[in-house]
């Protein structure tokens, strides 16, 4: 991680989308400004530029109701902090099965709504998420095969699919999720963001692809593997529906306790090995520690690191 002489929250132009998002957060949660300052300082001008673009998209999605998103974000931060304390004590995630996560989180519409709102805001508020988005845009999307077919697993808030559409390199977008409710949320978000690229959203489990014969040129599975009991099997299944030479974007947070995380990876190398075990060649990687940590310190303290891997089928 490179430390740059970036801005602090109070120095952001209040007429920018990023400035408005952060000022809304600080207005209702002033104690959080210190962490936001740390998060902003590690961003290069390019990452800040991308954060501004994403903040503009978030404002469109919020449609004047940004305060509700901030409430979801604060709930998520409090949840993560509680999970981190338990993780420090026990050394492992509290849940170990998808069934437990489904009963605790995915079947609870109220929890899911807060969670999705919080995750959306974290894309610009957490430095590791902002750095990983920049990696996704500049290293993955910018080098995607032109006129290709693009698939995302678990599109959630729709932001990554919308960014893929903005890139203008794909003739078709597809999103697979096990939750029809989640897909409806994705569809609503894509519509509000004005995505016009032909898009298919399907209820599909990667462990039950059956007679799926489609071939995708690019695949995204971002912040999903940690929710799965058998992530290598999921990646193997995805490789089977990829065109020769197709590229996959895998983003996995390590040492990242949350109420629905069940698969613990402890080092960036374990994430890379996960992708290799599925039969992919490794094109490039990105390591983005949580705000306030260098890579070395994050490794030593088992702190959260977002690890991005671009693989080739």
User: Model-level pTM?
Assistant: 0.95
For residue 64, pLDDT over 50 is answered with yes
Residue 182 CB burial class (10 angstroms; 0-12, 13-18, ≥19)? buried
Q: What count of other Cβ atoms lies within 10 Å of the Cβ of residue 130? A: 26
90 contacts 131 by C-beta, under 8 angstroms? no
Any idea what DSSP says for residue 208? G
For residue 3, pLDDT over 50 is answered with no
Tokens of 123: 């894309």
For residue 157, pLDDT over 50 is answered with yes
The C-alpha atoms of residue 304 and residue 266 are separated, in whole angstroms, by 9
Distances from the Cα of 195 to the Cα of 167, 186, 192, angstroms: 11, 11, 8
**What order of strands is seen across the sheet that includes strand 148-153?**
199-203, 170-177, 148-153, 216-222, 242-254, 305-312, 281-289
The C-alpha atoms of residue 178 and residue 116 are separated, in whole angstroms, by 16
Give the model's confidence band at 1: pLDDT under 50 very low, under 70 low, under 90 confident, else very high: very low
Tokens of 20: 């408005």
Tokens of 196: 């016009």
- The number of helices, as runs of H, and strands, as runs of E, in the chain is 12, 7
Tokens of 42: 């590690």
What is the end-to-end Cα distance of the chain in Å, rounded? 29
Q: What count of other Cβ atoms lies within 10 Å of the Cβ of residue 117? A: 25
Tokens of 309: 């891997």
Give the model's confidence band at 6: pLDDT under 50 very low, under 70 low, under 90 confident, else very high: low
36 contacts 11 by C-beta, under 8 angstroms? no
Most confident of 92-106, 211-225, 296-310: 296-310
């Amino acid at each position: 991680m490179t430390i740059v002489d970036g801005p602090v929250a109070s120095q952001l132009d209040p007429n920018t989308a990023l400035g408005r998002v952060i000022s809304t957060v600080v207005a209702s949660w002033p104690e959080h400004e210190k962490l936001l300052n740390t998060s902003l300082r590690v961003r290069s001008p390019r990452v800040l530029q991308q954060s501004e673009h994403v903040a503009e998209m978030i404002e469109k999605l919020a449609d004047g109701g940004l305060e509700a998103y901030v409430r979801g974000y604060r709930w998520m931060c409090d949840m993560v902090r509680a999970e981190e304390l338990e993780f420090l004590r026990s050394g492992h995630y509290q849940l170990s099965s998808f069934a437990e996560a489904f009963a605790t989180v995915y079947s609870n519409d109220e929890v899911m709504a807060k969670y999705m709102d919080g995750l959306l805001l974290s894309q610009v508020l957490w430095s590791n998420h902002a750095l990983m988005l920049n990696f996704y845009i500049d290293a993955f999307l910018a080098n995607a095969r032109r006129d290709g077919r693009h698939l995302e697993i678990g599109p959630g808030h729709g932001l990554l699919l919308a960014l893929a559409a903005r890139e203008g390199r794909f003739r078709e977008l597809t999103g697979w999720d096990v939750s029809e409710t989640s897909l409806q949320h994705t569809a609503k978000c894509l519509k509000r963001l004005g995505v016009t690229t032909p898009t298919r959203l399907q209820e599909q489990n990667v462990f039950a692809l059956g007679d799926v014969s489609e071939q995708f040129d690019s695949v995204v599975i971002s912040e999903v593997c940690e929710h799965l009991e058998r992530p290598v099997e999921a990646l193997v299944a995805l490789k089977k529906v990829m065109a020769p030479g197709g590229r996959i974007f895998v983003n996995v947070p390590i040492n990242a306790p949350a109420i629905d995380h069940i698969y613990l990876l402890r080092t960036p190398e374990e994430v890379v090995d996960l992708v290799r075990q599925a039969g992919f060649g490794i094109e490039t990687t990105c390591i983005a520690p949580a705000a306030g940590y260098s890579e070395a310190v994050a490794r030593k303290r088992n702190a959260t690191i977002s690890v991005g891997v671009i693989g080739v089928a």
